[in-house]
Structure 1
């Protein structure tokens, strides 16, 4: 393993969630790779979404909580540019082997990334108010 891969694995820390012999390869990837990266990059996701709100002039503060959650949902689901930016923040912390696995399973892993990112942003909706 090269020094970059070693550094990345040490930076991310331990897997989050259980990985058993019954876990699929994608479940294992989610718990061993995606969850630690999303946790590590959380502050950047928050800053990116706050920037998105400002750039797109979304009147976020005056909305109800339900409407705020709908804005988050709509942004992650439909704004391809924003979603690709978030994926880049995650994929940039893959090791070479993890990237190879990702390219073979990109469709399913992208769905997992999208769902995990949605939940992460929605659970921190209070941080987006000025």
Structure 2
């Protein structure tokens, strides 16, 4: 059996009035619109997932994709920190949206329910309501998936491949920006160097600039789960010895991007 799904990628709702749906999910809830097709759908980004709102009159007619649609009210739950629920209540009141129900689930977990313009039940709930949205879960969900076989590796090699590589790939734009900013601070004219000098300059930077190195390593550690942090602390020196060359290789492989940022 393949590995079980890691998180809900899409949540589908139905509404005949897509303009009203866009106002509610975009303006009231603050979700960014990803795509819109007039008369058919409007899609929204929500964290690492998407909320898809379809006009069922159109999507019940399947052509290139399977037909789908529903009658009656659907349901969607959004993760919201518990201490923000009162602020959301005031926000809904300012938009004349009635809070239909609130629920206390125990252990400090709560939910608040409203209706969207199509009558769908919209819940704002404590992220850990189902015990599936811990900090570690969210950190892992945000990382890119890499196809690496590590079952026969040592613990540190497993950590390098299963944790460090995905984390560094996730943080890639930030790493490059920080390196570029440091080069600009030194005023070395990085963009005008030839490729060999650029590679040498990056090597020296990551070797000699302790502040930059600590910043980059700290950023990586901040993206570790509790279990991963334990591995890091147990093998700190070896992990750091492996991480710095990985950071250097990533920077040297993307010299053109760094050079562009040193000119802006």
TM-score range, shorter chain: over 0.9
1:15 deviation in Å? 4.3
1:114 aligns with 2:244: yes
Q: Report the equivalent of 1:36.
A: 166
- The runs of at least 4 aligned residues of structure 1 exceeding 4 Å deviation read none
| Superposition TM-score, scaled by structure 2 size | 0.47
Give the 3-state SS of the residue equivalent to 2:214 in structure 1: helix
Q: Do the aligned residues in 2 keep the contact of 1:19 with 1:27 (CA within 8 Å)?
A: yes
Q: 2:200 aligns with which of 45, 70, 73?
A: 70
Bigger relative contact order, structure 1 or 2 (CA pairs below 8 A, ≥6 apart): 1
Deviates more, 1:34-43 or 1:1-10: 1-10
RMSD (Å) for aligned C-alpha atoms: 1.5
How big is each residue's C-alpha offset from its partner over 1:79-127, in whole Å with a ceiling of 9 and x where there is no partner? 1111001101111100011111101101110011101111100000111
SS for the counterpart of 1:23 is coil
1:17: how far off?
2.3
Matched, 1:54 2:207: no
Aligned residues: 129
Taking the aligned partners of 1:90 and 1:16, their CA distance within structure 2 comes to 20
Structure 2 residue runs without a partner (length 5+) = 1-130
* Superposed displacement of residue 18, structure 1: 1.7
- Secondary structure of residue in 2 paired with 1:66: helix
Partner residue in 2 for 1:79:
209
* Bigger-Rg structure (1/2): 2
**Which of residues 135, 146, 165 is equivalent to 1:4?**
135
| Equivalent-residue separation in structure 2 for 1:27 and 1:121 (angstroms) | 21
* Structure 1 unmatched runs, 5+: none
Q: Whole-Å Cα distance in 2 between the matches of residues 53 and 128 of structure 1?
A: 9
* Higher helix proportion (structure 1 or 2): 1
CA shift in 2, pair 1:85/1:16, >3 Å:
farther
What TM-score do you get using the length of structure 1 for normalisation? 0.93
